[in-house]
Every structure is written in structure tokens, then in C-alpha cells.
Structure 1
């Protein structure tokens, strides 16, 4: 974990004084592609470039850029999982919706052993 701390190639996680967690994505190609897609959706919806204060995941039904409600986002993830032809990917998406986070090789260093165990357990349950 300490080897990857501060390394922008990997996901970073920080907690502020109030105990709120922030996750900063790594700079891998999948993350860059996903962010580009979100920027394109933002530009198409609001007719301008995304600014530093704008939410990356926004409510597509709102007239102004506001963050997507967590419940709505998790429901959409569950719907996407049900359409997923790959059963392993479906299990990962459902585990993400259940736990609120996804553990991957690139970000596992940011989670406790308990969090990793909870996520992998959820994946296994949903893979059955």
C-alpha cells in the first residue's frame, strides 16, 4: 500500500477531518476513456465544457449540472448489471451496487482487508 501512496498511476483514497472519504481515480487508460465519455455527455447536455466545479457523474434530467443522486446511480448500475452478458462482470457490478465500491487490482491497496473481503464475498454471492 505504501509503495502506491501518492503514485498518480494508481487510485488514491483520502479522508478529511470530518471523516468523509474521497477517491481519486488512477490515470490508467480505462479511467481516461470513461472520463472522456462523461465529458462528451456533459458537453452534449449542457452545451459547454465541463469545469473544475462540475460533477463528473451528473443528473441527466436536471437543467443545471448537479451530482447524480447516489440511489439513482446505484439503481442504474443494477439495471446495467442485469443486461450484462458476462456473468462475472454482472457479479462485479452487483457487488459494487451492494458495497458502494469496487475492488480491483489497481485500487485494492486503498481498502482494508475487511473491505476487500466484503467485496469479494459479494462478488461470489452474485456469481452463483
Structure 2
């Protein structure tokens, strides 16, 4: 599985709404509140709380990556789904941003030129 990241988010934010939706789905599926070891994003086909299968997560990540510029897609997949944007920069650690920047740099080292056609 992925590394797992701890992030802060604001009450009423998009993240807050997504997590509340997941909580409602968990309660509906399993008839109880999630415990400390239960996954937030669970396999809806499992009889007990199980993490979403990695293949399902990977498939969703690849589908999203296909819609991104090549360097961004590479870094997104390389960092296991990290996608820094203006709205979430304040939530990311220095380590996350360093990992992201290293992945972008690696993409350009491997591909030799920027998207505008200029050599690196």
C-alpha cells in the first residue's frame, strides 16, 4: 500500500465533505461507525471493512493521469497520488513538496526537454 499521509483540512472544505460522505457510506454499508483500524476508502463489495483494492486505486490513478500533462502525470503516479495545486499547497509538508519536485525533475532528466521543445 501507499505511504499514507497526514494532512490538515478546514471544516466545510471539499475534503471535509468527501470524508463526511465516506463516513455515511461506511455507516450504511457496515451499520456502525468506523474504528481506528478501518479504512476511510473501503471496498464496497467486501462483507467486512477492507481497504479499496490496490488495483482499483491504481486504475483510477492511471485514468486521472491520462488527463494531465506528461510531466505532471509522471510525478502524480511516481508520488502515489500527490498532486500539488494552489488550493492544497498549504496542506503539504516540505517532504511532500520535495518528493513532488524530485519526480518532476526526474521526468525531465528522462525525457530531455521541456514541453515547449527547449532542451533542459
Superposition TM-score tier, normalisation by shorter sequence: 0.5 to 0.7
Q: Distance in 2 between matches of 1:62 and 1:94?
A: 31
Partner secondary structure for residue 47 of structure 2: coil
- Asked if residue 79 in structure 1 is aligned to residue 63 in structure 2, the reply is yes
Structure 1 pair 73–22 and aligned structure 2 pair: CA distance change class (3 A): closer
Partner secondary structure for residue 57 of structure 1: coil
Gap runs ≥5 in structure 1: 1-19
Q: Distance in 2 between matches of 1:76 and 1:32?
A: 21
The answer for the alignment partner of 1:4 in structure 2 is none
1:71, CA displacement in angstroms?
Answer: 2.5
Any residues of structure 2 matched to 1:1-128 within 5 Å, and which?
A: 21-28=3-10, 29-79=13-63, 95-104=75-84, 105-106=89-90, 107-111=92-96, 113=98, 115-120=99-104
Structure 1 pair 92–34 and aligned structure 2 pair: CA distance change class (3 A): farther
Highest RCO, 1 vs 2 (Cα 8 Å, sep ≥ 6): 1
TM-score (norm 2): 0.59
1:75, CA displacement in angstroms?
Answer: 0.8
CA deviations over 1:11-69 (Å, ceiling 9, x no partner):
xxxxxxxxx94411212223212211211221222222222221111111111001112
Aligned residues: 102
TM-score (norm 1): 0.56
Larger radius of gyration: 2
Aligned-residue Cα RMSD (Å) equals 3.4
